[in-house]
A and B are shown apart, each in its own frame.
Chain A
Amino acid sequence: MALTDTPNIPDPDGFYDELLAAHAGLSAGQTHALNARLVLILANHIGDRDVLRAALATARAGAEGTR
């Protein structure tokens, strides 16, 4: 299975709201910790190592050139 990079989430604005709401009122440290938990939860749900590897590479590409 390939990594889906076309729109796949119903009501994307609603999801984005919920994502920010989950972080509301958290310190930077708490936000980082929440994101780490979220990554692990979603990674386990996906389970497919090829998809996870592609997702990691895609995310990593975004880090190149930023500091």
Chain B
Amino acid sequence: MDKSPPPIDALYPYAHSADQDAARPAHHPVIVVGAGPVGLVLALDLAQRGTPVLVLDDQQGPGEGSRAICFAKRTLEIADRQGVGRRLVEKGVVWSVGKVFHGHDKVFEFNLLPQEGHRNPAFINLQQPYFESYLVEAIRAAQADGAPIEIRGGNTVTGIEPRADNVLVTVETPDGPYRLEAAWLAACDGARSALRGMLGLGFEGRVFEDNFLIADVRMTADFPTERWFWFDPPFDGAGQSALLHKQPDDVWRIDFQLGWDIDRAAELDPAKVRARVDAMLGADVSYDLVWTSIYTFQCRRMAEFRHGRVLFAGDAAHLVSPFGARGANSGIQDADNLAWKLDLVTRGLAPEALLDSYAEERGAAADENILNSTRATDFLTPKSPAASLFRDAVLDLARRHPFARVLINSGRLSLPSVYDGLSLTGPDELNGPPETRPGAPAVDAPLAQGFLLDRLKGRFTVLAIDAQIPDLTQLPGIPLERLTLTTSRDDPTGALRARYLGGAPAALYLVRPDQHVVARWRDATPGMIESALSAAIAKGA
């Protein structure tokens, strides 16, 4: 395994650009502000589609600290489409077993067994700087192949002026300010989004009155590769809950719930942090403190993710508590959702209204994530005597009774949202399995050669299973792939049939560039497919 530490600075050092000397603001089709996971995934996706994109970041590299560490299967599938997935999985720690303790006692354990017939595991743990640096490497490789993408580090956006036909931004650099013009601007500038502030836009929600201490430690202990979570941990000073989780490079994430009234500076004193960690690991375990931080939970979202030509994505648009790994993972799904839409709109192949569907779909996903995250937080930090009473009753019963285990909520782990009933989602005219219904992300399945998701390559695709694709003559002018599979030849494990046909003898699926299912039929006329395709690019039915 690669043991090199993640490069934390100067991955995209400041360099003077010709745009800074231009007499008039240089025009760019798409500017992405923020080179975090969301901005990088979005930019790489656009560049791979051939739409020119400029990334501006106020830093010059990923920065320090592990930060996001849990990347979910859907993120890995998106990364696979971008050519980065294998790298992430090879470096990441694959885990599936979680144990929940109450005080000294183990209440139960769960196993997120890798689903048979999926290329990717349910989760990997990987420090965020690795994720970012692999994306930057892929962007460099794309650049070398001529892809129209550029990252400018040390470029801080300090002003924004939305206009009818473009967005004018002022950018501060070590050589002084300059201005740029963008047809579309994606604000991926994080939880404290400066762009959101400059536009005076609200960020409504709840702050949970609690502080969590993160201590990432490096040690060569033989703890298993499992997620251990304690309610009322039995070690001194651990607070109301604690978490132990493994990352690559022998680094372990430790989390302590400290409560609301604390002295942050005092709690971050390394001696005090070490006392807590010693109590948890045992005094004879030696380790190094890699990174410490204190954070509070917030669940917030912007009312609208699209403001004219400015689109907000990731933490800039919505914020959840970390339990459930729904922050970075949902932001990466935002990028996946936005990239193909922005590409089609920029090329003039789809109306601007398609971008409203970004706000609609990812707004619904944000609501789902906030709901799950809020419920987990309410279980973790009971806010009333009744909440404490029932939480303790659940933990008590869960030791002996399976029914109570499903009520324990230490974070419902991130799953992709299904766009049920939303504007782009078409008809379900197959009596097929619910997991692949219209709106859902296509579910992976092993084929005779490779995996199904590898065959859904980022364009609209008509997938025919034991069926023929009718002649389509009235397409709305966008690229369309055709993929015909037969269960007798392509389905060695039966997973394709189970996941896409169920009891049906044959099926036609229309799948979007982001691999979400638009519509499915037992049998379809050309007009039915063409109409679903038009609706899926907001051209009306």
Interface positions of A (Cβ within 8 A of B): 32-33, 36-37, 39-41, 44
Evaluate contact between A33 and B393: CB separation under 8 angstroms: yes
- Contact call B392/A33, Cβ cutoff below 8 A: yes
Known pairs A40-B407, A44-B403; list 6 more (Cβ under 8 Å): A36-B390, A36-B393, A37-B397, A40-B393, A40-B404, A41-B401
Residues of A within 8 A of B390 (CB): 36, 39-40
Interface status of B389 (Cβ within 8 A of chain A): yes
Partner of A32, one of B389, B394, B396, B404: B389
Interface of B is mostly: helix
CB distance from A57 to the nearest CB of B (A): 16
A37 with B403: CB separation less than 8 A: no
Which residues in A have their C-beta under 8 angstroms from that of B392? 33, 36
A36 to B384 alpha-carbon distance, docked (Å): 14
- The residue in chain A whose Cβ has the minimal distance to the Cβ of B385 is A32
A32 to B388 Cα, complex, angstroms: 11
Complex Cα–Cα for A39 and B389 (A)? 11
Instruction: Name the distance in Å between A33's Cβ and chain B's nearest Cβ.
Output: 6
- Which residue of chain B lies nearest to A47 when distances are taken between CB atoms in the complex? B403
Nearest to A43 among chain B residues (CB) is: B403
A-B contact pairs, 12 of them (CB 8 A): A33-B392, A33-B393, A33-B396, A36-B390, A37-B397, A39-B390, A39-B393, A40-B390, A40-B393, A40-B407, A41-B397, A44-B404
Which residues of B have CB within 8 Å of A33? 389, 392-393, 396
Expressed in whole angstroms, the Cα–Cα distance for A44 and B405 within the complex equals 12
State the interface size on chain B (CB cutoff 8 A).
11
Which residues from A are CB-within-8-Å of B393?
Answer: 33, 36-37, 39-40
Chain A contact residues, majority secondary structure: helix
B contact residues around A32 at 8 Å (CB) = 389
Looking across the interface, which residue of chain A has its beta carbon closest to that of B391? A36
Q: Bound complex: CA of A41 vs CA of B397, how far in Å?
A: 9
Report the minimum CB–CB distance from A46 to chain B (whole Å): 12
B404 contact set on A, CB distance < 8 A: 40, 44
CA distance A32 to B389 in the complex (A): 8
Alpha-carbon distance between A41 and B401 when the two chains are bound, in angstroms: 9
Name the CB-closest residue of A to B404. A40
- How far is the CB of B82 from the nearest CB of chain A, in Å? 41
Beta-carbon nearest neighbor of A34 in chain B: B393
Q: Give 9 closest A-B pairs by Cβ, nearest first.
A: A36-B393, A44-B403, A37-B393, A36-B389, A36-B390, A40-B393, A32-B389, A37-B397, A40-B397
Residues of B within 8 A of A36 (CB): 389-390, 392-393
From A33, A39, A40, A44, residue with most partner B Cβ within 10 Å: A40
Q: Determine the chain A residues whose CB is within 8 A of the CB of B403 once the complex forms.
A: 44
Which residues of B lie under 8 Å from residue A37 when comparing CB positions?
Answer: 393, 396-397
For B399-426 the 0/1 string (1 means CB < 8 A from A) is 0010110010000000000000000000
Contacts of A44 in B (CB 8 A): 403-404
How far does the Cβ of B23 sit from chain A's closest Cβ, in whole Å?
67
Per the bound structure, the CA–CA distance linking A67 and B407 in Å amounts to 29
Residue on B with the closest CB to A37? B393
Chain B residue numbers with a CB within 8 Å of A40 are: 390, 393-394, 397, 404, 407
Residue of A nearest to B403 (CB): A44
Against A, the Cβ 8 Å flags (1 = close, 0 = not) of B4-48 are 000000000000000000000000000000000000000000000
Closest chain-B Cβ to A40's Cβ sits at a distance in Å of 6
Contacts of B389 in A (CB 8 A): 32-33, 36
Look across to chain B and name the residue whose beta carbon is closest to the beta carbon of A36: B393
Max chain B C-beta neighbours (<10 A), residue from A33, A36, A44: A36
Residues of A within 8 A of B396 (CB): 33, 37
Q: How far is the CA of A36 from the CA of B389 in the complex (A)?
A: 7
**A32 CA to B401 CA in the complex, in Å?**
19
Kindly state the separation between the CA atoms of A41 and B392 in the bound complex, as whole angstroms: 14
A39–B404 Cα gap in the complex (Å)? 12
A40 and B407 CA atoms in complex are apart in Å by 10
**Closest chain A residue to B390 by CB distance?**
A36
Q: Tell me the bound Cα distance from A43 to B394 in angstroms.
A: 12
**B382 to nearest A CB, angstroms?**
12
**Least Cβ–Cβ distance between A56 and chain B, in angstroms:** 12
Bound Cα distance from A37 to B399, whole angstroms: 12
Min CB gap B403→A, angstroms? 4
Give the Cβ gap from B231 to chain A, nearest Cβ, in Å.
15
Q: How many Å lie between the Cα of A41 and that of B390 in the bound state?
A: 12
Q: Which residue of B lies closest to A45 (CB)?
A: B403
Of chain A, the residue at the smallest CB distance from B386 is A36
A67 to B200, CA, bound (A): 45
